[in-house]
Structure 1
């Protein structure tokens, strides 16, 4: 079984040192940089706009995996792509026409991701599977870092894995929320190929990032 991609969420980083933080993640062996964008409307928190993403883009060659927790989402796609997003992931609840939104992302030259909240049905994946480069399973309710992993997410990972495999899809299956070295192995065993981690990567400061990432890969 291949080691999962590790995608540290900079929501848990030192915002006063974002450029240095993404450089440190690259040195430590991270695969992608996960950027959580929240608008204070779709979720009860407010984070970073495209100007911040653009400012940190020159500091690393790692792909930027931008998770858009905003509504409506369509007006923001181009701005985040221009800022340096390689992957743009959206929630089906964040706009009226998911198929059109995913197509727009691909037209911009980015990879298209679909995000499933804990209560979002897996059937949504089946309807747009041919447009997906990534499916993100939220193992917490979106909005804040540091939440505990919802155990029933493992069954959801298994179900989505089945949908992707039956469709012959090569989409990345990512998990986000409360991911630690203690549950990373179960996520991968259920079918995940990428893990988003915040607190479990950034704890201990930059000197600990490499060991924290290695622990997630080895779990």
Structure 2
């Protein structure tokens, strides 16, 4: 299991500061990028700010925006993985072709109500699936929806080799059930940033993987 801390930032400096706080504790950070249209909130959206970042951590950008292909060229040079929403795409096949020309990994996110079968034509072209596990997107601390557990199991059966990331409402109480259902990655936001000790919270999540 891989833990990926999620970051929602209002400015580039806030994003870099939060990345710095987890830089030595984890290998990856998940940046939630929102345009106020696909997701109801507006976040920082300036990828060039990341060029000022120091450290070894790798980044994935979760583009919670309409028509992510419009902003994709700005993000590809500064992050390692990009997540686009199936529901926001005009042509996923074209997006897959674009990624064949780049080193970045492509992840496709599905909202809670979108069935995993929607991606059955695309397994060979995507690196991982990001399953949203909350009803309301764009906020940290939203309640976990257990319906995602059936989606994880269904996805694992449909595509046994695909990497499954689960995103939203993840905490120490539900994380083990998510892993047992078949998830490879946990994207956690509120459970980390609202903890009294961020570093200890990350360690507690990582202990789950050892105990399984």
The normalised TM-score by structure 2 is 0.89
Match of 2:179 among 182, 188, 196: 188
The separation in 1 between residues aligned to 2:43 and 2:10, in whole angstroms, is 12
Match of 2:23 among 23, 26, 32: 26
Could you say if the C-alpha distance between residues 159 and 148 of structure 1 is closer, same or farther in structure 2, counting changes exceeding 3 Å?
same
Per the TM alignment, residue 86 of structure 1 is displaced from its structure 2 partner at its CA by 0.6
**Alignment RMSD, CA only?**
2.0
Aligned to 2:23, the other structure's residue is in SS state helix
Q: Which residue of 2 aligns with 1:138?
A: 132
User: 1:117-173 CA deviation, whole Å, 9 max, x = no partner?
Assistant: 0111111222100011111000013222210000111111111112221xxx3x421
Could you say if the C-alpha distance between residues 192 and 75 of structure 1 is closer, same or farther in structure 2, counting changes exceeding 3 Å?
same
Q: Which residue of 1 aligns with 2:202?
A: 213
Per the TM alignment, residue 62 of structure 1 is displaced from its structure 2 partner at its CA by 1.5
Q: Which residue of 2 aligns with 1:67?
A: 62
Q: Which residue of 1 aligns with 2:96?
A: 102
The separation in 2 between residues aligned to 1:14 and 1:146, in whole angstroms, is 20
Aligned ranges 1:1-219 → 2 under 5 Å = 4-11=1-8, 17-27=14-24, 29-51=25-47, 53-55=49-51, 58-82=53-77, 84-141=78-135, 142-165=137-160, 169=161, 171-204=162-195, 208-219=197-208
- Kept after mapping to 2: 8 A contact 1:102/1:113: no
The separation in 2 between residues aligned to 1:8 and 1:145, in whole angstroms, is 11
- Kept after mapping to 2: 8 A contact 1:12/1:145: no
User: 1:29-56 CA deviation, whole Å, 9 max, x = no partner?
Assistant: 2231000011111111111213465245
Which segments of 5 or more consecutive residues in structure 2 lack a partner in the other structure? none
How many equivalent residue pairs? 207
Could you say if the C-alpha distance between residues 19 and 73 of structure 1 is closer, same or farther in structure 2, counting changes exceeding 3 Å?
closer
Which segments of 5 or more consecutive residues in structure 1 lack a partner in the other structure? none
Aligned to 2:131, the other structure's residue is in SS state strand
Aligned to 1:182, the other structure's residue is in SS state coil
As a proportion of its length, which structure holds more helix? Answer: 1
The separation in 2 between residues aligned to 1:13 and 1:47, in whole angstroms, is 5
